[in-house]
């Protein structure tokens, strides 16, 4: 599926090709911290299927629980995380952050990952009262 996206301020834009069947909800503690939420949603694409159209991202290297180093790629002006990937050469996969995509409403997660770190209250949020706007 061809997708396009941008950072919050719109200065960094990109396009890519993803598999809509590989949309994952990540509950790892890094994703919780980076997103300032309970989880983050991503879909992977091959590095060659990603094209930066405008803006220059900043890269932060994070050491994962596994000990592997991961590039956290974001736009420094507004702080929007764009994707994460491995460090170094070779065929790399980009974990594109679904919230940055124009097509985010069309992409339904198909799997939870790092579920051992999931917030215990997540299963109960469907029962909370809803307010359409604030």
- Average pLDDT of the segment spanning 76-98: 94
Given CA atoms 68, 47, 109, 72 in this order, what sign does their dihedral have? positive
pTM, rounded to two decimals: 0.90
Residue in 121, 116, 84, 113 with CA at minimum distance from that of residue 26? 113
Q: How confident is the model at residue 134 (pLDDT cuts 50, 70, 90)?
A: confident
Structure tokens at 41: 């949603």
Q: What is the mean pLDDT of the chain?
A: 94
CATH for 2-120, options being 3.40.50.2300, 3.40.50.1820, 2.170.150.70, 3.30.300.20: 2.170.150.70
DSSP 30: H
pLDDT at 65: 79
Contact of 109 with 39, CB cutoff 8 Å: no
pLDDT at 110: 96
pLDDT at 21: 95
Residue in 65, 38, 57 with CA at minimum distance from that of residue 96? 57
For the chain, the domains span: 2-120
With a cut of 90, say whether residue 88 has pLDDT above it. no
With a cut of 90, say whether residue 64 has pLDDT above it. no
């Amino acid at each position: 599926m061809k997708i396009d996206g941008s950072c919050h301020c719109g200065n960094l834009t990109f396009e890519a090709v993803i598999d809509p069947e590989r949309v994952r909800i990540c509950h790892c503690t890094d994703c919780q911290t980076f997103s300032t939420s309970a989880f983050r949603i991503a879909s992977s694409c091959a590095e060659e299927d990603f094209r930066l159209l405008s803006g220059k991202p900043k890269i932060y290297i994070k050491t994962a629980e596994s000990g592997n180093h991961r590039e956290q790629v974001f736009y420094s002006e507004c702080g929007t995380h764009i994707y994460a990937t491995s460090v170094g050469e070779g065929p790399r996969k980009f974990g594109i952050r679904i919230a940055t995509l124009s097509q985010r409403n069309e992409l339904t997660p198909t799997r939870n990952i790092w579920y051992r770190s999931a917030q215990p209250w997540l299963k109960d949020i469907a029962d909370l009262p809803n307010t359409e706007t604030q």
